[in-house]
Amino acid sequence: MRVPFFDLSLQYRELSHEMQQAMEEVMETGSFSGGPDVEAFEAEFARYCGTAHCVGMSSGTSALHMALLAAGVGPGDEVITTPMTFVATVAAIEYCGATPVLVDCADTTLTINPALIVEKITPRTKVILPVHLHGLLADMRPILNIARERGIFVIEDAAQAHGAEAEARKAGAFGTMGCFSFYPSKNLGAYGEAGAVVTDDPALAHQLRLLRNWGAEERDVHAVKGFNCRLHGLQAAVLRVKLPRLEKWNAARRALASLYADGLAGLDLTLPFNPGDGGHVYHVYAARTPRRRDLQAWLRARGIGTHIHYPTPVHLQPAYRRAEYPLGSLPVSERAANELLSLPMFPEMRPDHVARVCDEVRTFFSKG
C-alpha cells in the first residue's frame, strides 16, 4: 500500500458537484474581480475567525505585505520574526523596505521564543510577526504582553493555522492583524493563489482595502499608492464551498495526529508539540530525528511520501543571508531544520495509512 504525502483529488471527489456549480455562477455573472462571492467570503471568514473584518488578498504573501504596509512599516523600521518559516514571511518585510530582525524559535514548539524577543526590541521596532508554524499557535500571551507594553503591533502569520485556537480565540484574532494564505495545499486551500487579512480595526480594514486595489477610494481616484492584490471571484467561490468543512477537516487532522502519536511512541523520534484543546491544526505533521535523510529514503523506497518543512532556515538561504546572522547564530532553528521530517497528513488520509507509516518507521528504528 502506497501512502502519498498529500492528495487533493480525494477532497475534490467529495466537492466536485458543489464546486462546479459555484464556479459556474461566477463565470455566468462575470464577477471575476471582486463581486458577491468575495464579499460573502470575507464576511464568512471574519465570522469564522471571530474578527470584525476580513479583507481578501491575492495570496498569503500579499496579505503579509499589505498588513505590514497598513501598519505603517517602511524603510528604517524593524520587524521581529523567526527564521523557522517559509521565506515569504521575511520577504514581505523586505518588500516594505524594512529590516527583518530574526529571533530563534523555542526547541519544543519551533515557534518564536518569547524569552528572546525583548533583547531584540529597539526604538525602530514596529511589529512582532509570530508564525504559527505547521499549524501550531505561537506562544501568543507573552508576545501580546511584550507588544502591548511598548505600543508595538502584533501581526500573525497564520498561513498554516486556519482554525487553530487557544482560550476560545482563533488564529488571526490575537494580533492587530492576522494573515492567511489559501494556497491549494493549506488547511483551507483555493484552486490557485489566494489570501486574506483579518482584523478588528475598521481603519486598518479600510487601509487594507485601499492598498489591495491600487489605492482607489472610488473608480479613478487613487488616494494612496496601492497594489494589485485583490482576491479573485473564482477563488472566493471555491473558498466558500470549503470553509463550512474546515472544522471537520481540522478534526480529521487531529485524529490522525493522535494515531501517529500512539503509533510512534517510544521511538528515538521527537513528535510535534501537542498543546491540546485545538491549539494545533496539523497543517504539517513534522517529527524530528538526526537520521531524517535515512528515514526519508527508507520510507520513499517503501512507497511513503514525505517532505521537509523547511530544510534551510531563512537566514541561511542564499538570497536572505546577512552578516548579522551567520551559521550558528540561530542554533535552535538550524538544528531543527536538519532534523525535521514531515510525514503524510491530509484530512482524507485513512487510519490504515497511518498504521502503515508507523510500521515502516518502527522497522527503520528497530534496525538501528
Ligand X SMILES: *Cc1c(COP(=O)(O)O)cnc(C)c1O
Phi, psi of 101 (to 5 degrees): -110, 120
For ligand X, the closer of residues 111 and 289 by Cβ is 111
For ligand X, the closer of residues 153 and 182 by Cβ is 182
For ligand X, the closer of residues 242 and 356 by Cβ is 242
Q: Which residues pair with 154 in a beta bridge?
A: 128
Residue 336 carries which side chain, given as an amino acid letter? A
Work out the angle between the directed axes of helices 233-242 and 36-49 (0-180°, nearest 10): 40
Place of cell 480525494: 10
CB of 195 to ligand X, least distance (A): 5
Task: Answer yes or no whether residue 333 interacts with ligand X by CB under 6 A.
Answer: no
Q: Which residues pair with 306 in a beta bridge?
A: none
Contact 199, 156 (CB under 8 A): no
Place of cell 511598548: 150
Task: Answer yes or no whether residue 111 interacts with ligand X by CB under 6 A.
Answer: no
Closest residue to ligand X using C-beta atoms: 60
In eight-state DSSP terms, residue 293 is: H
Question: How many residues would you count in the chain?
Answer: 368
For ligand X, the closer of residues 88 and 237 by Cβ is 88
* CA 311 centroid distance within chain: 17
Place of cell 465570522: 47
Task: Answer yes or no whether residue 42 interacts with ligand X by CB under 6 A.
Answer: no
Task: Answer yes or no whether residue 131 interacts with ligand X by CB under 6 A.
Answer: yes
Q: Which residues contact 297 (CB under 8 A, 6 or more apart)?
A: none
For ligand X, the closer of residues 136 and 259 by Cβ is 136
Q: State how far the alpha carbon of 21 is from the alpha carbons of 10, 27, 30, 182, 241, in Å.
A: 18, 10, 14, 20, 10
Task: Answer yes or no whether residue 181 interacts with ligand X by CB under 6 A.
Answer: yes
Phi, psi of 216 (to 5 degrees): -90, 115
Residue 141 carries which side chain, given as an amino acid letter? R
Task: Answer yes or no whether residue 96 interacts with ligand X by CB under 6 A.
Answer: no
CB of 190 to ligand X, least distance (A): 9
For ligand X, the closer of residues 129 and 332 by Cβ is 129
CB of 131 to ligand X, least distance (A): 5
Task: Answer yes or no whether residue 238 interacts with ligand X by CB under 6 A.
Answer: no
Residue 49 carries which side chain, given as an amino acid letter? C
For ligand X, the closer of residues 20 and 228 by Cβ is 228
Residue 317 carries which side chain, given as an amino acid letter? Q
Task: Answer yes or no whether residue 183 interacts with ligand X by CB under 6 A.
Answer: yes
Per-residue contact string for residues 50-89; x = within reach of ligand X by CB under 6 A: ---------xxx-----------------------xx-xx
Per-residue contact string for residues 133-172; x = within reach of ligand X by CB under 6 A: ------------------------x-xx------------
CB of 217 to ligand X, least distance (A): 27
Q: Which three cell numbers stand for residue 367?
A: 534496525
Per-residue contact string for residues 186-225; x = within reach of ligand X by CB under 6 A: -------x-x------------------------------
**Strand 195-199 vs strand 53-57: parallel, antiparallel, or unpaired?**
antiparallel
Using CB under 6 A as the criterion, which residues of the chain lie in contact with ligand X when the complex forms? Answer: 59-61, 85-86, 88-89, 131, 157, 159-160, 181, 183, 193, 195
